[in-house]
């Protein structure tokens, strides 16, 4: 018998965890198909945190705040994946050092 967690099951588990935190209307998650199969694309919307905003589309503080939130979301995804016995694939960058990146793209949008 095959007890392997499928990509779809993995993605559903991640989405469920994020929905519990951010609310269903704020969480979008879709897996890529074709050559990018296994990729996780996460999009979360949330209110903009209060700060001295320059008013630009994305000021540097906004950018840092959204990046911090994106890191938090990706850590939640990693924890869930570990818990259910699944994994997130990686790829080597072409930076010359073979740095590994996860097949996960996360975007936080302040509304
Ligand atoms: Zn700002």
User: Sign of the C-alpha dihedral, residues 78, 83, 84, 89?
Assistant: positive
Å from CA of 72 to ligand 1 middle? 19
Distance separating alpha carbons of residues 87 and 6, to the nearest angstrom:
10
Listed by start position, the domains of the chain span: 7-110
Query: How open is the CA angle 90-99-42, to the nearest 5 degrees?
Result: 45
Q: Tens digit of pLDDT for each residue in 59-104?
A: 888 889 999 999 999 999 999 999 999 999 999 988 889 899 999 9
pTM of the model: 0.88
> Is pLDDT above 70 for 58?
no
Say if residue 57's pLDDT is above 90. Answer: no
27-31 and 100-102: which strand pairing? Answer: unpaired
Write the pLDDT tens digit of every residue in 17-49.
Answer: 999 999 999 999 999 888 888 899 999 999 988
Query: Rounded to an integer, what distance in angstroms lies between the CA atom of residue 42 and that of residue 88?
Result: 13
What is the 66 CA–ligand 1 centroid distance (Å)? 10
């Amino acid at each position: 018998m095959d007890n392997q967690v499928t990509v779809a099951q993995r993605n559903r588990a991640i989405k469920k965890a994020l929905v519990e935190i951010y609310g269903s209307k704020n969480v979008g998650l879709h897996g890529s198909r074709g050559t990018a199969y296994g990729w996780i694309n996460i999009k979360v919307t949330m209110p903009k945190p209060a700060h001295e905003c320059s008013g630009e589309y994305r000021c540097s503080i906004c950018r840092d705040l959204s990046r911090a939130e994106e890191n938090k979301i990706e850590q939640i995804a990693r924890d869930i994946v570990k818990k259910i016995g699944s994994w997130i694939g990686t790829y080597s960058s072409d930076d010359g050092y073979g740095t590994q990146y996860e097949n996960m793209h996360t975007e936080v949008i302040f509304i």
